[in-house]
Structure 1
Amino acid sequence: MVLLLLFGLLDYPALGMSVELGILAGLRLATVAALLVLALKLKRKPSLASDGYAVTAIEIFGFVLFFFLYFIRHDIVSWVIGVAAMMILSLYVFIPNRVYLSTATAAFGISGMMYSVWLNGFGAAELTGLFFILGLPTVVGFFFTLRLQAGQRQQYALYQQVTSINRNLQNEIKRREALEEELKRQATTDPLTGLFNRRQYEMLFNRERERCSRQHKYICLCVADLDHFKRINDTYGHDIGDLALRHTADLFSNLLRQSDVVGRFGGEEFVLILPDTDLEQAVAVISRLRQELEITPLPSAAGDIKLTATFGVTQVFTGDETIEAVIKRADQGLYEGKGAGRNRVMTA
C-alpha cells in the first residue's frame, strides 16, 4: 500500500493536475483500499488468505492499474513492461502455494498488456517480443513453484512422520510409566485389601525405626486379628470374608494418620505401625479403631454383619533387632486378648 502511494508521487511531475492524474490516483487509492479491507477482514476470517481467491482478485485488479499506466504514461512504457514482468515472477515467489491461481493472474496480466500494445498500433513483432518477455517469468515461476511445492510436501510428510513417531514414543513412555507404577504397586501391596504387603511394611518399619531412634522418639507396633473370621467364611462364604477384610482395611486406613503404616500380615491379621507414638498414645489410638470397627458393621446381601477384632500392642525398644521380634511380642498380647474374650486391646 505504501509503495503504491509513493509511486503515485511520480505521476504529478509528469501529468500535472490533469484527468489522467485523477484516473491513476483513483486506481491507486482503490487498490490500496482493497488491500486495507482484506488486511482488516483477515483477523476475523483467515480463510480469505487460505483459499486464495480474495488475494487473486486484488492481484487482477492491480494489473488494471498497469494497463492504464501504459496508455497514460508513455514516458515510462518500457519501465511499465519491466515491472509487469517482475510482478508476474513475484506472484509465484511471494504466494508459492497458489500456483494455478497465480498462473491465471499472470495470464490475465499478459493478455491485458498485449491488448494494450495492440491498441497502440504495434505489430506482430512487438507483440511476439512482449509475449516472450512476460511469458518467461511465468514459465520460470510456474515450474519453480511446482518444485517448491513438491519439496514442501516432502517436508510436511516427513514432519508428519516425525510427529507420529514422537506421539507414539510419548504414548509408549506413558504406557511404560503406568506399567512400572502397576508393577511397583503389585510388588508393594496386598492385591485383596490394597494394604502394604510384608516386604513393604517391613521396609517402612526399618526406616521409621531408624528415624525415631535418631530423633529420640517412640514407635509402636500393633497386630490385629479379626474375631471369628472362620465363622464368617463358613456362614456367609469366602466372598463375604474378602469383603470383611477390605472393609476392615479401609476403616484402619481412613482413621489412622498418613504417616502411620497399615499392612496385611496374612489371613485375617493386620500389622499397624505407629511412628512418633508412645505405648499409652498407641493404646488410645488402637482403642478408637476397635470401637469404630465394632460400631461399623459390614453391609451385605445377607444383612449387616458385625465385625470385631483383638489387638496386641507393643512399643519398639532399642534392643529389638528385627521386626519379627516385635511382632512376636505383639502376638503375645494378641493371644492374651483372645483368651480373655476377644474384642479388646492388650499390651505386651
Structure 2
Amino acid sequence: MKEGHDGSGVGLYLSGLEGPFAAHEGRPVLSGIFTDAGRKRLDALMKERGFRPVHSLEIRKTDPPAGTPRRGMYLAQVYEPAPAWEELSAAHRAASLVETRVAIREAGEEKRDMMAFSFWPGVVMIKEVGDPLTIGRWLDLDRSDLHARRILCQGRQNTNYAINLYACHPFFIEGVCTMTNGENTAFVPIREYLQTRGIPGYMGYQSDSEVFAHILHFTLRRLGLPLEAYKHVITPLRGAELAEHPDSATLTRLQTVCRRMIIDGPNCVIGVTPEGTMFMVQDRKKLRPGVVGGKPGIYAFSSEICGLDAAIPDRDPALDFQPMHLDTAYVRPDCQEVTVCSQLKALPPRP
C-alpha cells in the first residue's frame, strides 16, 4: 500500500460513454472490483433483484505493479432491469439503483470480495492504489470501449485517514460526482447531519471529502435547487452581502435549514451534475488552486495551469479562469463555453 500523497492512486469517473456502452443508453452500469467468489455472489444478488446482465467489460490482470494489491476482476457491467422497472417513477428508479449499490457494498464488506463504486446509467468508475500512469497502462485504460465525453480523475489516495478504495476520489451518488483538493475541517458535524437524513447512500465516509458529493446531491435532488445554489449551501453569504442580495429572504431561510452543511476549508471542489454539467467552486479561504480553460468542444478543470497545458495545449491561455470564493464556474454538456456565476447575483429558477 502506498502513502496518501500525490501519485499514490487513481480514481476515474467516466460518463457520456462511447463505443459498446453507448448502445445501452439508459440502462444502469455497475462498476466495481470482484473476486471470482464475489462475482458469483453478485450474479445471485442481481438476479434476485431482477437485473439481467447484457454487456460487460471485464479487466483481469495478474502480477500487479509494486504497491498495488492483487484484486480479482475490474468490472463494468450493463444490466437490463425487470419489466416492472418501466412502471416506476424516475425517483423510484434512482432510489432502487442507490439501494442496490449499497447492498452490494455492504454484502462485500465482511469477505472483501465485492466493491461497488457506482450503479447508474452511462457511468463507469475505476479506482486503484498505485502510481496513476503505471495503473493506467497496466489496466489498458486507453482502450476504445472506455472512451467518454466527461472524465473526472484524481491521482492520489486518501491523505487523512486509512487508505481504502472507497476513500479514493471521485465520489458518486445518484448521478452526482465530485472530487476535492483540500481539507474539510468541518467533516464530523457535516457527516453526523447527513447520516440523520435517512437517505440511502449517505454512508461510509472513509474520506472527509465524500460529504461534498452528498451535499451537492442534497442540494439538487432533495431541495430541488439549481447548481448555482450549491455555493449558498456550503459557503453562505454574510452581513451586507446577504442583506443586499436580491434573494435575501430565500437565502436566509436556506442558510438556517442547511447551516450544518457549511464547510470550513480550505477546499476546491470539482464536480459533475446528473445532466452532465461540470463545475468548480472554492471556499472562502481560497487556499487551494483551481483553473478552468479550453476551447469549444473540449474544456478542462485542473488544480494547476500546467494541467491545462498538458490537456489542451492549443487553447487561448488568456481565456483561462481561476474561480474566486464567490464564483461557480461551469461548462454545460454542449461544451461550448465557460460560464461564471457569482453568489451576489440572483438565483436562476428551480430546474
Structure ranking higher on relative contact order (CA contacts 8 Å, 6+ apart): 2
Larger radius of gyration: 1
TM range (shorter): under 0.3
Quick check: which one's helix share is greater? 1
Please, what TM-score do these two structures have when normalized by structure 1?
0.23
Higher relative strand content = 2
The TM-score normalised by the length of structure 2 is 0.23
